[in-house]
């Protein structure tokens, strides 16, 4: 069943599933997109202040986005995102971590120029298996409105 702008009431929250972070995925993502040694080389990473291999923040964001697409937004009504608010990487993400994503709807606005759509604003927390917040971001998404 499609979800439209009106299906996300302000103040509502959602738990969006989890993902296991693996060393192989950390290294593969970083090798392609963020090839810093503390993301790609487990031995060299030991000498950095993190004490070992950690995921790129952009990898953490990509894992978050996958859970949002799979469990929160509707591909049939989504028009993409006009941007993000502040993104904060608060703690390192390590191999073996299990990340969960939580979303809180904080605003919903109908477009004044295009009445068939609007923008949803939601805050996202990414937490690890110890319920520690590893990343936060404010997300905006353009969505179709339900036909009246």
pLDDT of residue 76: 86
**Complete domains list, the chain, with CATH:** 5-144 (3.10.129.10)
Percent of the chain with pLDDT over 90: 95
pLDDT in tens, 96-121: 999 999 999 999 999 999 999 999 99
SS3 40: helix
Helices (H), the chain: 23-33, 37-40, 42-45, 57-71
Query: Is 148's pLDDT higher than 70?
Result: no
Q: Measuring CA to CA, which residue among 110, 141, 145 is closest to residue 3? A: 145
Number of other residues whose CB lies within 10 A of the CB of residue 10: 13
pLDDT in tens, 13-50: 999 999 999 999 999 999 999 999 999 999 999 999 99
SS3 126: strand
């Amino acid at each position: 069943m499609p979800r439209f702008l009106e299906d996300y009431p302000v103040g509502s929250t959602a738990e969006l599933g989890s993902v296991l972070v693996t060393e192989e995925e950390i290294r593969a993502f970083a090798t392609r997109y963020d090839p810093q040694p503390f993301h790609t080389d487990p031995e060299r990473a030991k000498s950095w202040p993190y004490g070992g291999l950690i995921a790129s923040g952009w990898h953490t964001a990509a894992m978050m986005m996958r859970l949002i697409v799979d469990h929160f937004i509707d591909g049939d009504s989504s028009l993409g995102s006009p941007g993000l608010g502040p993104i904060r990487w608060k703690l390192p993400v390590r191999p073996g971590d299990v990340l969960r994503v939580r979303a809180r709807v904080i605003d919903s606005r109908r477009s004044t120029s295009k009445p068939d759509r609007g923008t949803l604003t939601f805050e996202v927390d990414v937490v690890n298996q110890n319920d520690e917040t590893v990343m936060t971001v404010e997300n905006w998404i353009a969505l179709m409105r339900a036909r009246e």
